[in-house]
Amino acid sequence: MNLKTFMVVLGTVSSLTVAGMAGARAADALRVRGTVVSFAPSLLTVKTRQGDTDAIKLNAGWKISGVAGASAKDIKQGDFLGIASVSKADGGSGALEVVVFPAALKGTGEGDRPWDLQPNSRMTNGTVADVTDINGRAVTLTYDNGQTRKISIPDNTPVVTFAAAAPTDLKPGATVFVVAQRDGDGTLSAGRVVVGNNGVVPPM
């Protein structure tokens, strides 16, 4: 990736993660996951995973980013991750998906909070304090002034990082993740879209 492309991705990811994750905690925010039905310069129509169809108005200056495949085997101490997970029967936590943040975005959205990828899931953004490979790979994340959480990463867990994307990637059938705001009149609007491209889909 050349410097110009990296800066575009970095700016897009910064907008996504800082504003998007903060917005996701707002009462009027909605995380839309689904596939593109149609796309116009200022309107994205998505068939959600629940089977509904949402029309999302794209704000002026909206941003787009893609995702690229990464490997759990490459995760090392000091990396900054966002992991959606659920509790396991043994009392631990198992990852549903892992996002590896670029080094320049370390600290973005740090903390542990409820998530809606599936029932009773949580999102933990933190720095890798330890990596173990006993009975599978697991990481210990540290966040919020020293709190820690150990999360196992099953072999089939989607692991991604951010990549460049363009509006032309918003083709019918493309998988998207959008943090939208529900306006007073009930319409949805958003300033950023994450789209699956090059065969990799956003697992968020």
Tell me the CATH number at 46: 2.40.50.140
Same domain, 61 and 75: no
pLDDT of residue 103: 86
Same domain, 64 and 127: no
| 204 assigned to some structural domain | no
The conformation of residue 101, written as its DSSP 8-state character, comes to: P
Same domain, 59 and 134: no
pLDDT profile of the chain (204 residues), mean per 10: 43 44 53 96 94 96 94 94 90 91 88 93 96 88 94 94 93 96 91 91 90
| 101 assigned to some structural domain | yes
| 107 assigned to some structural domain | yes
Same domain, 38 and 88: no
What is the spatial distance between Cα 182 and Cα 27, in angstroms, rounded to a whole number? 9
Same domain, 16 and 52: yes
pLDDT of residue 28: 65
Same domain, 125 and 90: yes
Give the amino acid at 88. Answer: K
Same domain, 76 and 154: yes
What is the spatial distance between Cα 204 and Cα 201, in angstroms, rounded to a whole number? 9
> Whole domain around residue 26: which residue ranges?
3-68+161-195
| 202 assigned to some structural domain | no
Same domain, 12 and 83: no
The set of residues, in sequence order, having a beta carbon less than 8 Å from that of 64 and lying 6+ positions away, is 12, 165, 166, 167, 169, 170, 192, 193, 194, 195
Same domain, 28 and 57: yes
- Provide the domain count of the chain: 2
The set of residues, in sequence order, having a beta carbon less than 8 Å from that of 140 and lying 6+ positions away, is 128, 129, 130, 131, 132, 148, 149, 150, 151
CA-to-CA separations, 83 to 9, 38, 186, in angstroms, rounded: 20, 30, 31
pLDDT of residue 132: 92
| 201 assigned to some structural domain | no
pLDDT of residue 197: 84
Same domain, 95 and 134: yes
| 203 assigned to some structural domain | no
pLDDT of residue 22: 42
